[in-house]
Structure 1
Amino acid sequence: MSWRGWSPPVIRKVSPTLLCATPSCDENKAAARAATSSPRSDSVRSCQPGGRPTLPSEVGIIICDISNPASLDEMAKQATVVLNCVGPYRFYGEPVVKACIENGTSCIDISGEPQFLELMYWKYHEKAAEKGVYIIGSSGFDSIPADMGVIYTRNKMNGTLTSVESFLTIQSGPEGLCIHDGTWKSAVYGLGNQSHLKKLRKEANLKPVPIVGPKLKRRWPGSYCKELNSYSIPFLGADVSVVKRTQRYLHENLEQSPVQYAAYVTVGGITSVIKLMFAGLFFLFFVKFGIGRQLLIKFPWLFSFGYFSKQGPTQKQMDATSFTMTFFGQGYSQGFDPDNNKPNIRICTQVKGPEAGYVATPIAMVQAALTLLNDASDLPKAGGVFTPGAAFSRTKLIDRLNKRGIEFSVISSSEV
């Protein structure tokens, strides 16, 4: 998912400079507005949903266009970290990554597009390492709660964590839920080009990550979670892809035991399951064809049954919306042999936060950037292209998020 159109929070007294690359008020030109703190101001703001600028006059603005590499270079040269929120990233992301690397600038984005994220790794990881810069994708709601949630669960288990299932629950108020159509577009193009992602992974020819303990079985769509008293369906965001890449990195570079992971979203009763499965099949049929993708993108409100719109949520909807991600993990106590025994430890943790797209995402993104600036000694020694978990597993990011409304907690832990 690619959250677009939000207004970043004020960043006060940030040094070195942070550049926030956000959608231009004229999206047809695919421009990015980059706001930086000027000598006369210690705050950074950007565009609100709908393209209404809220920048005070004393804050400098650089107008960038992906068709003009020099403008991106000019932006990157003035920052230590660029925060890129312009999606879908498959169209607008790579020029920003390239400009940042060439100019020795780190970059953080909020992409939830596995094809883009994995392609950036294969194309630019070595170049970023040579420059000593950090390119960290999926640092919004996709996929910091999931990726850091698995790491938090591992750190809180008194033993070896071997597998985790997460269940996302969205709570909304009386006016319901609405999501900006930028996320919808990313999903349309992502699912419509699944063959390209499969080809990319096949060409990578990676060695399988070892499985510790019993293999995690995937639940059927519409399965019932008795712990949460709700039916669930597989979560189709980038979380699984991101967590798997993190676990590969932690295993290959830090020699940590890899964790299996599966992600689901709760949907309530069986009636909701039937409706969503019908809508999902309808969606998957349409994304296979060019004309179908055009219709889906042109009429997001119609084809998503009102959940996605070009306007995004209202302020009242955002104020009344929150999320809870519950993690059920299992593993082995110290000295217990995973080869010949069933897991003997269970743990349940949660990540709770405010509205995902316009509130939790900017919080996560800005705290990731500040962690990158302030916890440099705890980052991977060399630069490169990383997932949030790979980059921040040894930093204080979770502590920072806890202080700002995205809360990590242990619900229960028991030895069987």
Structure 2
Amino acid sequence: MASQGDKVDIIVFGATGFTGKVAVYKILNLAKEKGITWGISGRNKDKLNDVLKEVAEKTGEDLAAVKVVEADVKDASSLQQMASQARVLVNCVGPYRFYGEAVVSACIASGTHHVDVSGEPQYMEKIQLEYHKAAEEKGVYIVSACGFDSIPADLGTVFLMNKFQGDLNSVETYLESGTTEPVQGAFVHYGTWESMVYGLAHYNELRPLRQKLFPDRLPQFTPKLKRRLLFKNKEFDGWCVPFPGSDRSVMLRSQRYFFEHEKLRPVQVQTYLLIKSVFSVFALGILGLIFVVLSKFQCGRNLLLKYPQLFSGGAISHEGPSVENMKKSYINLMLFGEGWAEKLAEPTDQHDLPPNKHVTVKISGEDPFYGLTSLILLLSAVTILRESDKMPGRGGVYPPGAAFAKTTLIEELDKHGLKFEILPSEGD
């Protein structure tokens, strides 16, 4: 095992993959800004050196001193050897349902913090169920969903809670994504698609998992926030359908933490996609229905995985998006908060009157799927390095909202391209 003097602050594991390579580009300036040391890891040392050579040639940076560590997700001893050489491991190797648990286990054994960009509820909740106590005892923080899924929604809700100044009853999120101009080719990489396919295929795992993880239900409040299937949102000028990603499950885990440990009123949440045209709603509905049906069968999953461009309408490919396409992409996430201006004494107290206060938050950024996601991931790792004293307990497995609520991560994200703002209400 490595001694303290041999450790670097951050190792990017999976640096030869699509997201991992973007993270290597992003860590260059961040390392200078924050004064951190770093390395890269993967299963093939020659390919890792090729990544460093490519990045050095394109940036003009001297990367000869960057630590390079070979590690394979199928070799537990190599994972532990890798983890022992970092203070925080940035894990870019997915799908996490197949490859994540072994890395988490190695990090806990080595006393190394771990962040990843998983958008897979089954994986995240299984890790919390089975590894929280061990991570806590070891003083290690394990935080998933530290990217486009689901930092904007989860920390956006924390931001809204802090600004609301009353009793916040519910939050609805509306995600709009697109490009600033028409693009040719995909703008999402195959790895994201693969995680989606297996996540939906194994959706039935969630109920028994949650019964073990959360045996006690959260208190029920009125008015109850209901899930709507398709509706027109006049305020944000678009059609809305339920968001199929992990945001809601991550947000609810944070709300449970706030209620059980901070004695805060748990906020009800629903998440939606905001779509501007009726044609896009129809096309998305057809593709979604095909995706759901095929994901239920092995032969169907094989088709989805073999032909991602066909079944995603051209949005996803094995090669991933070009640099030009990534730069042209953007997200706007609106969070509509509803509640009361008056704050009751206890978090379980019920209000007698209908909600009388609304606050809307907008979170926006460019290149969200990879550039911004990689930066969010790295800033999450730096936050653990610098502000672990502001995080829950002395370690454990947490969603990002619960993990980073009392840190300066929101301010850091705002400085680095993920903008948080309160939208003016009518009459302001």
Q: Structure 1 length as normaliser, TM-score?
A: 0.89
Distance 2:18 2:234 in 1: 31
Counterpart in the other structure of 1:326: 334
Deviation at 1:356, TM superposition (A): 1.4
Q: What is the Cα-based RMSD across aligned positions, in Å?
A: 2.6
1:200 aligns with 2:209: yes
Deviation at 1:379, TM superposition (A): 0.9
1:168 aligns with 2:183: no
Residue type of the partner of 1:264?
Answer: Y
Residue type of the partner of 2:326?
Answer: M
Q: 1:92 aligns with which of 99, 114, 118?
A: 99
Deviation at 1:366, TM superposition (A): 1.0
Q: 2:84 aligns with which of 74, 77, 85?
A: 77
Per mean C-alpha deviation after superposition, the further-off stretch among 337-346 and 392-401 is: 337-346
Deviation at 1:17, TM superposition (A): 4.8
Counterpart in the other structure of 1:381: 393
Deviation at 1:376, TM superposition (A): 2.2
1:185 aligns with 2:204: no
1:279 aligns with 2:287: yes
Distance 1:301 1:206 in 2: 41
Judged with a 3 Å threshold, the aligned counterparts in structure 2 of structure 1 residues 205 and 121 are, in CA distance, closer, same or farther, namely closer
Residue type of the partner of 2:286?
Answer: F
CA deviation map 1:378-409 (0-9, x unaligned): 11122000010111001100000010010100
**Paired residues, what number?**
396
Residue type of the partner of 2:331?
Answer: F
1:63 aligns with 2:78: no
Indicate the structure with greater helix content: 2
Q: 2:251 aligns with which of 229, 243, 247?
A: 243
Distance 1:112 1:216 in 2: 24
Judged with a 3 Å threshold, the aligned counterparts in structure 2 of structure 1 residues 103 and 5 are, in CA distance, closer, same or farther, namely closer
Counterpart in the other structure of 2:359: 347
Q: Percent identity?
A: 38
Gaps of 5+ in 1: 36-43, 49-53
- Structure 2 counterparts to residues 16-415 of structure 1, below 5 A: 17-18=37-38, 56-172=63-179, 173-175=181-183, 178-220=187-229, 222-335=230-343, 338-413=350-425
CA deviation map 1:183-206 (0-9, x unaligned): 100000000011122231234352
Contact 1:84 1:110 survives alignment (8 Å): yes
Distance 1:16 1:318 in 2: 27
Contact 2:173 2:272 survives alignment (8 Å): yes
Judged with a 3 Å threshold, the aligned counterparts in structure 2 of structure 1 residues 214 and 415 are, in CA distance, closer, same or farther, namely farther
Match of 2:126, SS state, is helix
Deviation at 1:219, TM superposition (A): 1.3
1:12 aligns with 2:31: yes
Distance 1:187 1:252 in 2: 31
Gaps of 5+ in 2: 1-16, 56-60
Deviation at 1:3, TM superposition (A): 7.7
CA deviation map 1:68-94 (0-9, x unaligned): 111111111111100001110011111
Judged with a 3 Å threshold, the aligned counterparts in structure 2 of structure 1 residues 59 and 5 are, in CA distance, closer, same or farther, namely closer
Judged with a 3 Å threshold, the aligned counterparts in structure 2 of structure 1 residues 378 and 363 are, in CA distance, closer, same or farther, namely same
Distance 1:347 1:46 in 2: 48
Match of 2:305, SS state, is helix
Q: Structure 2 length as normaliser, TM-score?
A: 0.87
Judged with a 3 Å threshold, the aligned counterparts in structure 2 of structure 1 residues 155 and 25 are, in CA distance, closer, same or farther, namely same
Counterpart in the other structure of 1:39: none
Distance 2:149 2:43 in 1: 22
Judged with a 3 Å threshold, the aligned counterparts in structure 2 of structure 1 residues 157 and 414 are, in CA distance, closer, same or farther, namely farther
Distance 1:413 1:280 in 2: 34
CA deviation map 1:261-304 (0-9, x unaligned): 11111122222111111111111110000011011001101111
Contact 1:245 1:387 survives alignment (8 Å): yes
